[in-house]
Amino acid sequence: SQLADFLGCTPAEYIQLRFKRGYDAETPRRDLAHVPKGKEAVRIKDLSKRYGKRGHGVEMLVSRHHNGEECLYEVKWMDLGPTENTFEKMSRLKGLGVEWMATAFDSLLAAAWGDGPLRPLTQREVARHLEDFGLSEDVACKRQISMLSSGQKTKMMLAASFWTRPHLICLDEPTNYLDAETLEALQRALKNFKGAFAIVSHHEKFLDDVCDELWEVCEGRVSRRERPRG
């Protein structure tokens, strides 16, 4: 999805919507490679008619919850509204021939959170996270994205990229539109970050300040740049 689709939302609502399924909605859907075709698709359609909800098949998995030792997946059924969603065990998904959906969904959650717990998407938690990136609670919870400055939008997107507490971050020109205060905050955050990061930027002073290793792309060549001594 594009940011233009969320201009009527607040920054807090944007993060809540982007991560409402537990993983980052901007993550490419790897389950598309497993979509059954041919005879397998016909078999699943038949199973849906026989065992699906009122003859409807599984459109997608929306969320995952643990009920004691059991794992339940929230199912969105084809041609049925979200109020018709149900929570199903893996055994039911296997019976419908769509266990591959659960495997792909588990993979997305594992990529986002590893073995750690999902972060609560409460307004308070999201607002506090956005405050760490220079957006006040009033801006985070009351101002529409369409009313934000370019710098505020950049802060919001940076905050979103850090929401899942990732181990690796890739940033493309992160200093664009940042004011001096936010730039300093980003520098501190990267210096304190326990994981790894790769940055593409023309801001040499920023790179010298936060990066351990520098590589330069020039005239079709990539070469390691020696850091200044002293």
Where does the pLDDT of residue 198 fall: very low under 50, low under 70, confident under 90, or very high at 90 and above?
very high
Contact 175, 194 (CB under 8 A): no
The structure's pTM equals: 0.64
Q: What domains can you pick out in the chain, each with its CATH number?
A: 23-113 (2.40.50.40), 166-230 (3.40.50.300)
**Predicted pLDDT of residue 32:** 47
Half-sphere exposure of 61 (CA within 13 A, CB side): 28
Backbone angles phi, psi at 168, to 5 degrees: -135, 130
Q: Say how far apart CA 120 and CA 199 lie, in whole Å.
A: 29
Amino acid at 183: L
Backbone angles phi, psi at 102, to 5 degrees: -65, -40
Which of the residue ranges 46-60, 139-153, 216-230 would you say has the lowest mean pLDDT?
216-230
113's tokens: 């959170």
**Predicted pLDDT of residue 79:** 92
Phi-psi group of 97: left, alpha or beta (phi > 0 → left; psi -120 to 50 → alpha; rest → beta): left
Amino acid at 24: D
**Predicted pLDDT of residue 29:** 55
Q: 115-170 pLDDT, tens per residue?
A: 666 788 999 999 999 998 889 999 999 999 999 998 899 889 989 988 988 888 89
22's tokens: 């537990």
